[in-house]
Amino acid sequence: MGTIKRGILGGFSGKVANVVGSSWKGIAVMKSLPLSVANPRSPLQVANRYRNSKMVLIGQQIGLANIRTLWNMLASQMSGFNLFMKANADALNTDLTPHWGFLYLSKGTYGSLDNTGITVTYNGFTDRYVVDWSACPSAQAYADGDKACAVLVSATGVVLSSNVNVVLQSANVLEFLNVNTALIGAHVLFTILKADGSNVATSVDIVVV
């Protein structure tokens, strides 16, 4: 039995006739039950499902906690993960492989970050990649207490390591440890998170050459 709390235009819970009421993120939601359950499999629908499943896998590689950190503060009436999926709808090639140059690690409005002057170098003696933004004017414009965040992706699209909320912007360098091979053609997705977590820059892509 359904319980109507504020009239038919307000929120209610349970089922009334063919309408189901519930609450999602504090929002009253009303859904009409379908007359029958179907699973259409048109070519376009199947393709969209494949694209969505690929993006879910990419999000899982980056890390759900990382995505929550970088997207939840910007999401409205949806989860941070769903906003990540929506923002990256065009980040797949026609063969559904990731196009890392088009993928957003974050897509906020904090500052005007670009990749000018950001370098990525590999140290084979210590098995680490070093991301250095000391010569990047746009990165240096952020506050010392802000946090630099990055993800390292191999040329074949495997997320090898992620560092989120790890180093202060003022440190000027971020390291990926225990990477035992040089990764020509790899990508580093880099962004700056505001110190209080209330906003984030739009991420930039640096190709390892």
Q: How many CB atoms lie within 10 A of CB 86?
A: 13
DSSP H or E segment with residue 53: helix 43-62
Distances (CA, A) of 71 to 59, 170, 197: 12, 23, 10
Strands 187-193 and 173-177, bridge-based pairing: unpaired
Q: Which residues of the chain have pLDDT under 70?
A: 1-18, 24-26, 28-30, 33-40, 165
Burial class (CB in 10 A: 0-12, 13-18, 19+), 122: middle
Which candidate, 106, 146, 108, 150, places its Cα nearest to that of 129? 150
Between CA 198 and CA 201, with CA 199 as vertex, the angle to 5 degrees is 160
Per-residue model confidence as pLDDT tens digits over 129-149? 899 999 999 999 999 999 999
Length of the chain in terms of residues written? 209
Q: Where are the domains of the chain?
A: 3-32, 43-207
Predicted model pTM: 0.78
Confidence at residue 1, expressed as pLDDT on a 0 to 100 scale: 46
CA atoms within 13 A on the CB side of 141: 10
The answer to whether the beta carbons of residues 1 and 12 sit under 8 Å apart is no
CATH 3.40.50.11860 matches 43-207: no
Confidence at residue 117, expressed as pLDDT on a 0 to 100 scale: 96
